[in-house]
Amino acid sequence: MGLRLGDIAPDFTAETTEGNINFHQWLGDSWGLLFSHPADFTPVCTTELGKTALLKGEFERKNVKVIAVSVDDLSSHNKWIPDIEEVNNVKFNFPIIADSDRKVAELYDMIHPNASEKATVRSVFVIGPDKKVKLTLTYPASTGRNFQEILRVIDSLQLTANYQVATPADWKNGEDVIIVPAVSNEAAVEKFPKGFKSVKPYLRVTPQPNI
């Protein structure tokens, strides 16, 4: 059985391109983005790790630490990084876990025999400061991940965590949000001073509370 939303993200110690880490300790009070790639020197992942490096400032502004993992070793990672920097015109700026013993891949159920017996599938985990899994995504090897969508989901998750709101279909940062059903109308009057509109008794919208 794989990890489910709300499960505690498994802790581990690992060697990375930025030194040895204990995962939970490394996360501290931050949110985390852990994502896997099948192997080093693969074309799609070369673009993905470059995009992540370009967006690192965006992740930092949201208090998110990013870290990648594959079953290749540290020497391979270090040889690959110059390619990532050249292709994407960026300075590489976050750690890659060396998982040659597949410990992390197996903890996070990243080995899917139907996809490959040797390589991790391309998984994404967003982890909250409480160390619980908030989001899981799995992509095929042929489709590059949409990091703007990952940033959008993190915005939504953080709004839910901080303000008891949800986000509607196709929501973008800055648009109206939905008050969760657990908040009564009486509590909503106090909690959302910008006011709210009851579209249906179970569907109440309010301006995004953190802007």
Q: Which of 34, 45, 98, 150 is catalytic?
A: 45
Distance between CA atoms of 8 and 168, rounded to whole angstroms? 26
Distance between CA atoms of 77 and 134, rounded to whole angstroms? 28
Backbone phi, psi, residue 48, to 5°: -70, -45
Determine the straight-line distance between the first and last CA of the chain, rounded to whole angstroms. 40
Active site residue 101: no
Backbone phi, psi, residue 115, to 5°: -90, -45
Residues 6 or more apart in contact with residue 44 via CB below 8 angstroms: 141, 142, 143, 144
Burial 14-40 (b: 16+ CB within 10 A, else e): bbbbeeebebbebbeebbbbbbbbbbb
Instruction: Identify the burial level of 110 via C-beta atoms within 10 angstroms of its C-beta, where 0-12 means exposed, 13-18 middle and 19 or more buried.
Output: buried
Q: Which residues are catalytic?
A: 45
